[in-house]
Amino acid sequence: MTGASLVVIGTGSLAHATCDALATVSPEPLDVVVVGRTRGKADGVCYLSGTRAALDGTRVTFQPAVAGTDDHLAGILAETRPAGVYVCASHQSPWERSATPSAWTDLLARAGFGLALPLHADIAARVGRLTEAHRPGAWLVNACFPDAVNPVLAALGIPVLCGVGNAGTLAASLQAALGLPDQRRLHLLAHHAHLHAPHEAANEARAWLDDTPLPDVTALLATQRATDRALLNRVTGLTAALVLSALLTGADTDTHVPGPNGLPGGYPVRLAAGRVSLRLPAGVTEAEAIAFNAAAARRDGVRVEDGKVHFEPAAVAALPPAMAGRHSFGAAELSGVCRDLLALRAELRTEPTDPAQTA
């Protein structure tokens, strides 16, 4: 290896988009190890991104690796000794409802996105523990529902540095709409739930330019919210690559990320020397910013408080009797709840979707 190293966990749409962007934005040599469950998918990510790097003349290399078990991943971490680990692998695809609708996707539609939190958190938690054990000192960035998953990781004692996506994508959209060269003058508080416009204007994301509140956030985000979600990873992947590049080089960068240091929701932050710190607008305290994001979390159907996960009433009402007792659980119970949800999903995937649900 010739430069800093990064391990990417996952070979899906966001992994592709992030690696494609890293191939062209990294200002320094970088070795990226892409870990997949199958060699073919890892090869595909590395071929596409590696070819882009070659054409662009950057010194970024991509190597495939396969980790079918935790032991395999432990060996990869011990051998490559990465500066950081980037998780964008989850048990639950965000595209399932459009690709293969079923009674399971109907349940998620009724309950809210937050019901799938355990399915997004399980792999991130396992990777976090393995990173601590086999590459202590490496940082962890999680891309899987970080607004809610990162607080769970923190409750488990896993030192997650931040997430990517969601608030970062919204901030990038505001930056473009406002014609700003960067995000130094921009401050945005936004949760994953704000990827969609709220029903009530009072629940909209909050943004400031030069510490002055922006009155037209909904209008500024309208085009992004109308764009096909599957295409947004072309932006999200670039925001992720810029965050990862800054962390790898130690550069000072003013940006926005979800779940910084395990907090709920998304915030304006400063990246410096591989660390993440809040940079809130004048007059807004950290407690106020956290409270804003905690309130927004309820619209996703889940909140994380004092190390416990609580599903909101809509999610609880949608759950079948088999999930009784799983309406609220401690972070330490994550793997058990994940197994229960995976079993429920396997059952419901065999049942057709309700036409009224997708109408």
Task: Please give the full DSSP string across 24-90, using - where no structure is assigned.
Answer: HH-SS-EEEEEEESSHHHHHHHHHHHHHHHHHHT--EEEEEEE-SSHHHHHHHHHHH--SEEEE---
Residue whose entry in the numeric block shows the structure tokens 């071929």: 47
CA-angle at 237, arms to 139 and 158, nearest 5°: 25
pLDDT value for 1? 47
* Number of C-beta neighbours around residue 289 at 10 A: 22
Residue 357 near residue 108, CB atoms below 8 Å: no
Averaged pLDDT score across all residues of the chain: 95
The two three-digit tokens of residue 218, written as one number: 């909904």
Count the residues in the chain: 359
Q: Is the pLDDT of residue 8 over 90?
A: yes
Q: Cα-flanking dihedrals φ and ψ of residue 280, to 5°?
A: -75, 155
CA 70, CA 336: separation in Å to the nearest integer?
A: 17
CATH level 2 (architecture), domain 4-163:
3-Layer(aba) Sandwich (3.40)
Q: For residue 279, what are the CA distances in angstroms to 110, 176, 189?
A: 36, 20, 11
Same CATH fold assignment for domains 4-163 and 167-300: no
The two three-digit tokens of residue 132, written as one number: 């601590």
Closest listed residue to residue 107, CA positions, set 320, 306, 307: 320
Domain spans in the chain, listed from the N-terminal domain onward: 4-163, 167-300
Report the pLDDT averaged over residues 159-182. 97
pLDDT value for 355? 75
* Number of C-beta neighbours around residue 210 at 10 A: 10
pLDDT value for 2? 59
Q: Is the pLDDT of residue 130 over 50?
A: yes
Closest listed residue to residue 61, CA positions, set 136, 109, 6: 6
The two three-digit tokens of residue 343, written as one number: 């079993």
Residue 31 CA from chain centroid, whole number: 22
Report the pLDDT averaged over residues 62-73. 96
Sheet holding 266-272, edge to edge: 253-258, 266-272, 275-278
230 pLDDT tier (thresholds 50, 70, 90): confident
Q: How many CA atoms lie within 13 A of 94 on its CB side?
A: 19
The two three-digit tokens of residue 345, written as one number: 């999903």
Residue 225, helix vs strand vs coil: helix
Q: Cα-flanking dihedrals φ and ψ of residue 95, to 5°?
A: -100, 5
287 pLDDT tier (thresholds 50, 70, 90): very high
Residue whose entry in the numeric block shows the structure tokens 């882009």: 52
Q: Is beta strand 160-163 parallel, antiparallel or unpaired with respect to 186-189?
A: unpaired
pLDDT value for 262? 97
pLDDT value for 106? 95
Percent of the chain with pLDDT over 90: 91
Closest listed residue to residue 5, CA positions, set 36, 28, 24: 28
Query: What fold characterizes domain 167-300?
Result: L-2-Hydroxyisocaproate Dehydrogenase; Chain A, domain 2 (3.90.110)
Report the pLDDT averaged over residues 220-241. 96
Amino acid at 214: L
